[in-house]
Amino acid sequence: MADEPQRIAKVVAALVPCSRREAEQYVAEGWVRVDGQIVEEPQARVLPGQRVEVDPKAKLQPPMPATMLLHKPAGIATADALALLAASAHWDGDTSGIRRLKSHAVGLQELLPLPPAAEGLCVFSQDGRIVRKLREDAALLEQELVVQVDGTIAPGGLERLSGGGLLFEGQRLPPAKVSWQSEQRLRFALKNIRPEVVPWMCEQVGLRVTSLRRIRIGRVPMAALPAGQWRYLAPQERF
């Protein structure tokens, strides 16, 4: 009947015009307003007399799995940081060109987790290629850390940190690139050494770690991403 509610996707398909599938995508991507309010649920229904508008600048993006980069604050586990991947924490400096969809929060895999006390770059992905690379090739990816320390380094301590040879849980650690950034700040560039091992490494040369921040994974930097906010991995970016 004419006065019964209709699925919003059907109304949009008639307005644009486009296929029903494309209409559902317009809605899911946040291009559609009902009486001035954005509606993102393609199954929503509208009543006769309600004003349905499609943004004249609307442009559908190719369907693709999402990868999100988060600046995890210190004090929470990486798995718990999933709760931070909300629309309100989407960094306004994101230049990926990807519009956020609710479906991007479904099935995200936590990759290369940080210890709870650490902060910095964390990765969550739906993309099977990214998941495989960051799991299967984790030992080949360089991770860059900035580490704040207290104490006085033992003689030859920097060489011990850099040269490899420290025994951790019965395994000899590989070499690392370690340098001073200031009197109390070290930069580590590591391959096949988990970030949670770094405080132990520092203890072996007389230093106590007071903070640890991961600023790069492979070729992807955290850069200016603020703590507690996230952005999309852009299509042209590669780990």
Q: Per residue in 120-133, pLDDT tens?
A: 999 999 999 999 99
Count the Cβ atoms, other than its own, within 10 Å of residue 160: 17
What confidence category does residue 106 fall into, taking pLDDT thresholds of 50, 70 and 90? confident
Average pLDDT over residues 31-48: 89
Q: What is the pLDDT of residues 151-170, one digit of tens each?
A: 999 999 999 999 877 999 98
Residue 118 to residue 140: CA distance in whole angstroms: 21
Please state at what angle helix 20-28 crosses helix 8-15, rounded to 10 degrees: 110
Where in the chain are all domains bearing CATH 3.30.70.580?
Answer: 67-139+219-232
Domain at 6-54: CATH code: 3.10.290.10
Where in the chain are all domains bearing CATH 3.10.290.10?
Answer: 6-54
Homologous superfamily assigned to 142-217:
Alpha-L RNA-binding motif (3.30.70.1560)
What is the model's pLDDT at position 193? 96
Q: Which residue has the higher pLDDT, 24 or 158?
A: 158
From first CA to last CA, the distance across the chain in angstroms is: 55
Q: What is the dihedral of CA 212, 216, 217, 220, to 10 degrees?
A: 160
Q: Which of 196, 190, 183, 205 has the alpha carbon at shortest distance from 118? A: 196
What is the model's pLDDT at position 2? 59
**Residues pairing with 143 in the sheet:** 190, 217
Average pLDDT over residues 2-23: 86
Q: What are phi and psi of 29, to 5 degrees?
A: -85, 0
Where in the chain are all domains bearing CATH 3.30.70.1560?
Answer: 142-217
What is the model's pLDDT at position 27? 87
Q: What is the pLDDT of residues 43-80, one digit of tens each?
A: 899 988 899 999 888 888 777 899 999 999 999 998 89
The whole-chain average pLDDT of the chain stands at 92
Residue 200 to residue 175: CA distance in whole angstroms: 15
Residue 233 near residue 222 (C-beta atoms within 8 A): no
Return the CATH class of domain 67-139+219-232.
alpha beta
